[in-house]
Amino acid sequence: MPWVVAELRGQRVLARCSEAGALVSAGGRVEIRYKPTDGRAYQAAAGNLAVVSPAKVLPDDHCAPADAVPRTKEEKKVVAAKKATTSAAAIPADAFVAYTDGACSGNPGPAGLGVVVTSPEGERHEASEYLGSATNNVAELTAILRAIEAVAPDRALVVHTDSQYAIGVLTKGWKAKANVELVAKTVALVKGRRGLRLVYVPGHAGVPLNERADELARLAVSSRKSTRLPALGAAGAKSAPSAPA
């Protein structure tokens, strides 16, 4: 389907059109691109578009193929989940991979954390720790801390979390207004080891090990019990099963 130059609220865009240059809409919306190489396909209301005169019809390949831009929260979660799954290809073969999550009943309230760590050899270890009364942010941060503490500092580690707050205060320089000591301790560990990477993964979006970490965090809250991770990755260390704390 060809393209035509149109104006959208004073800005020129490329819009889908017929061979005659008339806008083509579906449900009252027209596919548009801001640039031929944008890589993102947007939808604009037909009533907000005006074809620039004289209309010049451009071929379909004038714009590169693009993915639709998600508009709803659910669509954004699906896209983020796909990106998180795809990012696994970039994980070094010798890296430990962790998924962490926190939960609390009330905020603050009874809180717990869940951690799932897989070794380069495919061994899986889990932790479900009850934290007492705490906030969700404390639970999220402590889950990341437990994953880092469990894996030997000379081993590569990729930690997945669905907490934008945790990633912000740990890697983006966000100033912590609360949980200052916990943040400082975790930041020191993050900065103090090479081969550590924090990766955002969307919560409740069907990412299997993230869902398991969430389940373990909720189990800690409901059971008021804890299991801890063994020491992982140290030379000569044996990977024992997780045991109650």
Q: What are the residue numbers of the active site?
A: 101-102, 140, 162, 204, 214
**In angstroms, rounded to a whole number, what is the distance separating the alpha carbons of residues 138 and 160?**
16
Closest by CA to 52, choosing from 12, 99, 110, is 12
Q: Is beta strand 157-161 parallel, antiparallel or unpaired with respect to 29-33? A: unpaired
Closest by CA to 87, choosing from 159, 174, 149, is 159
Beta bridge partners of 100: 115, 161
Residue 159 exposed, middle or buried by CB count within 10 Å (0-12, 13-18, 19+): buried
148 φ, ψ to 5°? Answer: -65, -45
Beta bridge partners of 81: none
Segment (H or E) for 224 = none
Which two structure tokens, joined as six digits, stand for 49? 């578009």
Does residue 109 contact residue 233 with C-beta atoms inside 8 Å? no
**In angstroms, rounded to a whole number, what is the distance separating the alpha carbons of residues 104 and 112?**
6
Q: Could you check whether the bond before residue 54 is cis, i.e. omega within 30 degrees of 0? A: yes
**In angstroms, rounded to a whole number, what is the distance separating the alpha carbons of residues 229 and 200?**
22
